[in-house]
Chain A
Amino acid sequence: MKRKAIVLLAALVTGVLMNTPVFATDAEQYKKALEEVQAQREEAARTVQLWSTTGVLLKSAENAAEAGHYEQAVELVKEAGLHIELALATAEREKKTWQSNVPK
């Protein structure tokens, strides 16, 4: 009887654990993250030249989402957002430094 209860409890815990990631990162979360980064990308592209990796990462995210791997898709979208931030940071720094390489 005790053994049966342990097996039942273990099955319950396993079931909960297996289901948790599905609820943690779903299509809605991917869509929300994508919308945010796309808006960020559009805004940044008005003032700076972005990295070509940004589009590549977003395409990979799209492929991952299509395969149902939403957690991976969200990670890729976040990485694309980071690449946008880095392109902005480079552009900001370069505004102050580009003239130092012009022959005088």
Chain B
Amino acid sequence: MKRLFIACMLVFTMMSAHATPEQDRLALRDFFAKRFPALDLEDMINGLYAFDEGAREQWLEMEDFPPYEIAIENGETVFNTPFANGKTYADCFENGGEGIKQNFPYFDAGSGEIITLEYAINQCRTKNGEAPLPWMTGELAQVSAYMAYTSRGNKMNVVIPDDPRALAAYEAGKQYYYTRRGQLEFACENCHMQSAGNLLRADRLSGMLGQATHWPVYRSKWGEIGTLHKRFQECNLQVRAEPYEAQSRQYRELEYFLSFMSNEMEMNGPASRR
């Protein structure tokens, strides 16, 4: 009887210590609902523009002739141009690659890896005898922008299958998000949860919820469209941490966690930001 009691206590302790990903997601929504009671949480897919009415007006005006439009057009052209072997990107993806970005990143049971959309695009190229593209800007980001555009309006649907390796990848991404790093000792959470909506110099900090729905992004300071991992690198440098390589295991795990937190939110990529 005593042993049974101890076993029950152990199971209870383990369950309470490790929340499930879905419990994490609901707790995060609850956090922002309490922090910003007047805010429609679904509007957080628009980043800082959910908090700043003046900046939002400027951004909406810019959306009449969005700076990422050329990237979408170029991406579509590249996407439909056959490889040397006659195949195209469409042959590598389900539904011909249209309207599928909401399912990325996913856990690939065969390799045990997290596959982001950009990772899959380059996998498609190498599988068809083409050289991989640079990860952060240029053609790869343009193809990703086109695929994101065809997925607009869909709901983020990142799945964590019943596989301990998938859960471990999610947990690693979660730990990364909440861990302080760099000389300034900042965690992602310090800016995008504790200080979300606050001014940092002239801009407001975006909130974590909806942060993964709108990539790739045309940033005015970059002067071109870039991927989420380019932004991860920039964030790391801003807190004086040595960035990882784009599409490194650490960044893919971070994207897996971050995207799961935006599940059920509307896909709205590509987007423009200051």
The minimal Cβ–Cβ distance linking A65 to chain B, given in whole angstroms, is: 22
Nearest-neighbor residue (CB-CB) of A99 within chain B:
B178
Shortest beta-carbon distance from B55 to chain A in Å = 27
* A98 and B240 within 8 A (CB): no
Of A83, A86, A91, A101, the contact of B189 (CB 8 Å cutoff): A101
Contact check, B30 vs A51: say whether CB atoms are below 8 A apart: no
The answer to whether the Cβ of B78 comes within 8 Å of any Cβ in the partner chain is no
B35's nearest neighbour on chain A, judged by CB, is A103
A104 interface hit (Cβ, 8 Å): yes
A53 touches B180 (CB 8 A): no
A103: chain B residues at CB < 8 Å are: 24, 27-28, 30-31, 193
Give the interface centre of A45, A53, A87, A103 by most chain B CB atoms within 10 Å: A103
Please tell me the number of chain B residues within 8 Å of chain A, measured between CB atoms: 27
CA distance A24 to B10 in the complex (A): 61
| Contact call B185/A49, Cβ cutoff below 8 A | no
- Number of A residues near B (Cβ < 8 Å) is 21
CA distance A23 to B10 in the complex (A): 64
Cβ of B108 to closest chain A Cβ, rounded Å: 25
B241 and A50 form a contact (CB under 8 A): yes
Q: Of the candidates A45, A51, A90, A98, which one forms a contact with B178 in the assembled complex, judged by CB atoms under 8 Å apart?
A: A98
Q: Contact at A90–B187, with CB atoms within 8 Å?
A: no
A52 contacts partner chain B, Cβ-Cβ < 8 Å:
yes
Binding site for A on B (CB under 8 A): 19, 24, 27-28, 30-31, 174-175, 178-183, 185, 187, 189, 193-194, 236-237, 240-244, 250
Where the two chains meet, the residues of A that have a C-beta atom closer than 8 Å to any C-beta of B are 45, 48-55, 83, 86-87, 90-91, 94, 98-99, 101-104
